[in-house]
Structure 1
């Protein structure tokens, strides 16, 4: 890893080269000298709802069955009764 002195020397050299050739940061950026700014992370796309009860509670069918649906199934209701679509 470069020391602080080596980094400072490298920066001075780059600045001198830019001055000698009349280069600007904008020109270097346009030439692709820098990594593009990464796009901000996008929120995950919500999964479509597969099951819903009369109170509006829903479940996408992924992961553990929610309490409201588990209670209904334990009470004898068929899970397909709550399927939508």
Structure 2
């Protein structure tokens, strides 16, 4: 089945469902069926970054690259961004 055929079949199914349940386009719009989804939330800010560009937001378990640096005697604050 081609994409155009699948699309046409989906439209036929939607129209049949609307007819079966007595739904109108206005009712679907009022129910929010055509509202745009909310924008994605921004990524968490980077708190720590090394010279290779690896980063950590400070949440959860400390990543291996930072743990190795701290275990080698480097301060975690050395990698703090901003």
Instruction: Tell me the TM-score normalised to structure 1 length.
Output: 0.57
Distance of 1:36 and 1:55 partners within structure 2: 46
Q: Which of residues 59, 63, 67 is equivalent to 2:64?
A: 67
Give the paired residue count. 60
Distance of 1:42 and 1:65 partners within structure 2: 29
Distance of 2:39 and 2:63 partners within structure 1: 26
Deviation at 1:39?
A: 3.6
Q: Which of residues 29, 32, 39 is equivalent to 1:36?
A: 32
Structure 2 unaligned regions, length at least 5: 1-19
Structure 1 unaligned regions, length at least 5: 1-10, 15-24
Over aligned residue pairs, what C-alpha RMSD do you find? 2.5
User: What are the Cα deviations for residues 20-59 of structure 1, in whole angstroms up to 9, with x where unaligned?
Assistant: xxxxx35xx0xxx331115436433101111111111111
Report the equivalent of 1:7.
none
Instruction: Tell me the TM-score normalised to structure 2 length.
Output: 0.59
